[in-house]
Structure 1
Amino acid sequence: MNALFNCISQYHPISLGAWKALSRALTQVEVSKNSFLIQEGMVCNHLYFLERGCLRGYYMLDGKEITYWFGFENNFVTSFYSFISRKPGVENIQVLEDSTLWRISFEALNQLFDHHNDLERLVRIINEQYYIRLEERLMGLQFKTARERYEQLIETSPHILQRISLGQIASYLGISQETLSRIRSQV
């Protein structure tokens, strides 16, 4: 839980009372490689903090997996659309490595908001950071070449080549695996 506390401190300080209440509401879960936190058609009931491991979010399009995010250590992850709207999601969250996560349910989180304004602000800031990353990703897909997207990915997440399959990286970049191989041979 120390990693979670350190991560939270970087976003927004919270009171000792809020931290104690949050600690009581969190559950640690160990999840095995290739299992799922959520699958398409389910309502996502938890917000997670990834302490150890690696995840990916993907959806299916015409029978093909389209990866659109990866989560690594010290990331907050969930199916944001489903978690916030309380509607069934269209994404799958797959565990790519044996992982340790901390989770809190939608109901428990909202009860904490009623008593701890600093927690509500913390989660708002986390959501804002998620939105910023989402917009940066969208702009990259719209305005950058495949090579520029690959170079940016390697610059911001150099460990990705050791942890993620090339097929999933290609899908994330919006290119074929052949195009990715060609780009990698030129870089």
Structure 2
Amino acid sequence: MKQVEISRNSFLLREGMVCNNLYFLEKGCLRGYYNLDGKEVTYWFGFENNFITSFYSFISRKPCVENIQILEDSTLWGISFEALNQLFDIHNDLERLVRIINEQYYIRLEERLMAMQFKTARERYEQLMETSPHILQRISLGQIASYLGISQETLSRIRSQA
């Protein structure tokens, strides 16, 4: 793995690029977002001790449709697709670790889908505060609102009633 230092407001990945690396976030914060009709739609945040990549692009070897933006000066450790597969050939137990990472990603993805489909905006906000209470100190309210699928005004109303 190679250490990568990236400064705030930089991009780890931009839409249209093929994601060649799987990263472990040692320090910092970042977000994944899509551009939809000129609007940024945030769909995940990454914090310390998370694995970060565009899973679709990394696995399929196709261009990604998302952007990964660095929100704080960050330290990541990256391994290329090719190097990871070479390690799989040598160390079969490493495949198990990556399978577990993929399973955790899938669980988070399904939990997010269920929350967006079946929970109210208030319930989504409360769940976010329960699982990531530090988020208000690290992420802008506009990006949090986008992640929750609500306007910044609605988020302000929910917060004032909490």
Into which bin does the TM-score normalised by the smaller protein fall? Answer: over 0.9
How far apart are 1:33 and its partner, in Å? 0.2
Residue type matched to 2:66 in 1? E
Instruction: Give, in whole Å, the separation in 2 of the partners of 1:103 and 1:83.
Output: 12
What residue number does 1:53 align with? 28
How far apart are 1:165 and its partner, in Å? 0.1
Q: Report the number of matched residues.
A: 162
What residue number does 1:112 align with? 87
Identity of aligned residues (%): 88
Runs of 4+ in 1 over 3 A off after TM superposition: none
What residue number does 1:99 align with? 74
RMSD (CA atoms): 0.3
Residue type matched to 1:137 in 2? R
1:153 maps to 2:128: yes
What residue number does 2:147 align with? 172
How far apart are 1:153 and its partner, in Å? 0.1
Residue type matched to 1:30 in 2? E
With the length of structure 2 as denominator, give the TM-score of the two structures.
Answer: 1.00
With the length of structure 1 as denominator, give the TM-score of the two structures.
Answer: 0.86
Residue type matched to 2:39 in 1? K
User: SS in structure 2 opposite 1:103?
Assistant: strand
Instruction: Give, in whole Å, the separation in 1 of the partners of 2:93 and 2:69.
Output: 31
Instruction: Give, in whole Å, the separation in 2 of the partners of 1:104 and 1:164.
Output: 27
User: SS in structure 2 opposite 1:68?
Assistant: strand
Give unpaired runs (5+ residues) of structure 2: none
Instruction: Give, in whole Å, the separation in 1 of the partners of 2:143 and 2:155.
Output: 11
